[in-house]
Every structure is written in structure tokens, then in C-alpha cells.
Amino acid sequence: MSGFVFSEKPISIESGEGATLTAENGTEYLDFGASYACTPTGHCHPDVVDAIQEQAAELLYVQGSYPVQSRTDLHGKLGALAPGGIENVWLCNSGTEANEAALKFARSATDGTKIVAAKRAFHGRTAGTLSATWKPKYKKPFEPLLEDQVEFVTYGDTAELEDAVDDETAAVILEPIQGEGGIHPAPAGYLEAARECTEATDTALIFDEIQTGIGRTGDLWACEGYGVTPDILTTAKGIASGLPMGATLCRDWVAEAAGPHGSTFSGNPLVSAAANATLDVVVDEDLPGNADEIGGYLRDELTALDVPIRDVRGEGLMIGVEVKRGANRVLRDLALEHQVLALPAGRSVVRLLPPLVLEEEHADQVVTALADVLAPKAESQS
């Protein structure tokens, strides 16, 4: 039944440690994306494991109306770590739920109804977030959705964005770096322009940091690297080291008018404990700094390769390698020939999203693997 959502890979994973996954047959794989950016602290970081075990022995669940220390701590921690001016936190179970809440909050807090989103964007799979997602393959089986309330603009085109945002607009939702769409960082000045035109029209600016957040791009939040603070910021994936959690962070003016919203498992004690430990490790071990250093080294080494690569782009340890052959074929060869697991981002982009505990030797291993897989001799044999 798992194939209903995912195409099942021919590798059965049994355990993980740091940047390594181990299959049932004992083969070790370097994880450069198999975990969808959900393991910033690496697999089974001892501090995260200890926090989960301690909380599991005390309390697994109680509904969100009753204060629980791990949840209370997490609210405070996220509020303190959020970009300045964003102190309100709503917890949920996934990135799509975080974005769904963001869109609802924006609609409640403004007089607008229109949502402006970007081409190539991916924001989730619920009816609302799917409506703001660009790629037809995700949307077509479920149409009609809410397309008549969403206007898509070309990512990076400031003039087109400014023309689209008007007094009828409730929200502009953007990824600071587009992930699923091919690892496209926002061009210089683009997010600043988004901030200016949303402020001028009393529109909520939403930054989807589901994939870019929790240190991945070299800053705790990618928007900090651009010097732009949104009204609403969403995060998930790495926030609890792989356990299911998302969060919607927002400014006071949004929170005060957000309207009723809830979730049965919002901030459950176990996952909150994992998230607290994850954030502590990310900050205490300066994983954003490591992502910046090792990510810069990795991009430089990949750019220097004398093999058919069209482009290397990204920030920190969120890297896209645009290749001249199909990305899926490259990924197959990386896994089978070099025990490196990665992801596609479209037909021609190999997406690298390793744990932020990555070391230089791991980066070297991937550079060597890609050099071999992409070498002309390999192309002539395929």
C-alpha cells in the first residue's frame, strides 16, 4: 500500500547514525536526501533519542488544552529563535498543515481573498496548499481545487509580483529558495520587493521555510540571510529530527485576528520533546555554521568538476546540481554504484539535502561519486 504515495525503492533501511543509513543486508549508504531534509541533527542523535525516551516514559499524549511542559518549552523556544517580531506559534503535524494554517490565518487577518504564489512552487498536498502549488502532476487528479483564488507569478520577476499584489490580496506565499521546483534561490532584491508591496497593500507575506528552515541554508532561517522578515513563517521537516511536526509562526497582528483553528495532535508531548532537543542541538552545535562551511566547500568542488553539469546552485546544504542527463538515472547510479542516496528536483536536477552534521569527507565522497557517474564514459555506456 505504501506505493500508493511513494514509489518503493529496492533498499530496505534498518538503521541510521549521523549521515549514514544502513540497509538490512548491512550495506551503508550516505544520506544526501533520502530523509527529505528531516534530519538536521543526523540520524539518531543521542540527545534527541534521550529526550524522546524520557518523554515516552512519562506521557505520550494529552490534548492541547492542557499545558504540558515540553509543549510550553517549545512555544517559548521557537518564539525566541524566530526572526524578530514573530513570536506567536501554532504547532501541527506537517509542512502542508503549517502552510494550510498560514493561508487561513492570512485570510482571517486581512480584507483580501486572493493568494499570490509563484510558478514552480510546492507548498503541500491539502486542498488549500495544493491550490498554491504550481506543478500540474500534483494537482490535476484532484481538481477542481481553489485555483480561481490563486494567481501565479514568475518566481524572481519583481514587476510581475508587484502587478499581482493589490487590495484584494490576502497573502503572498514564497519559498526563499524553491526546493521541489529545482533549488532556485530568490534573486537579489526579490524578497525585499515582496516585503514592500505586501506592506503597501496590508497583505500578509508568508515565507514557506518547510525545507529551508532549521539551519539548512547556513542561517537558522533562510529569510535571515536575505534580511527580510515575513508576517508568517512556516517550518516542518527538520524541526523534530524526523518525527512529524510543523509550525506556523506569525506576528501579533496576524495572530490576534487568525480565527479558530486546531489540530488533535498539535504539539503532542513526545514530538515536542524531540523538537526541543533538536533545536538545542542545532543551536549548541552551530549546525547552521557547519551547513554554511561544508555547503560552500561542496558547491565549490562540484562547480570545479570537468563533467557535464549545467549548473550548481543553492545555499548551505540545500544544493541543486542541474545535469545534462535525466536526474533519476543519475540517482539510480549514485545509489547502486556508490551507495549515495539523493533526491530529484524535476527531471534534470539532483537535489542534495544531507544532515547538517555533514563532514568534509562526506562531501568529498559525493563529489567523487558524481564525477564518476556523470563522466562521459558513463554516458556512452548508458
Task: Indicate the annotated binding residues.
Answer: 95-96, 122, 125, 208-211, 263-264
Q: What is the DSSP letter of 186?
A: P
Grid cell, residue 306, equals: 570537468
Helix/strand/coil (H/E/C) assignment for every residue in 233-289 = EEECHHHHCCCCCEEEEECHHHHCCCCCCCCCCCCCHHHHHHHHHHHHHHHHCCHHH
How many C-beta atoms lie closer than 10 Å to residue 144's C-beta? 9
* Residues flagged as binding site for pyridoxal 5'-phosphate: 95-96, 122, 208-211, 264
Q: Which residue's C-alpha cell is 490565518? A: 105
Tell me the helices (H) and strands (E) count for the chain, helix number first: 14, 17
Instruction: Enumerate residues 6+ apart whose C-beta is below 8 A from 51.
Output: 273, 274, 276, 277
Dihedral sign for Cα atoms in the order 109, 246, 212, 151: negative
Dihedral sign for Cα atoms in the order 334, 337, 341, 343: positive
* Residues flagged as binding site for substrate: 125, 263
Q: Please state, in angstroms and as integers, the Cα–Cα distance from residue 332 to each residue in 215, 308, 341, 373, following that order.
A: 28, 17, 9, 10
Residue 302: is it exposed, middle or buried by C-beta count within 10 angstroms (0-12/13-18/19+)? buried
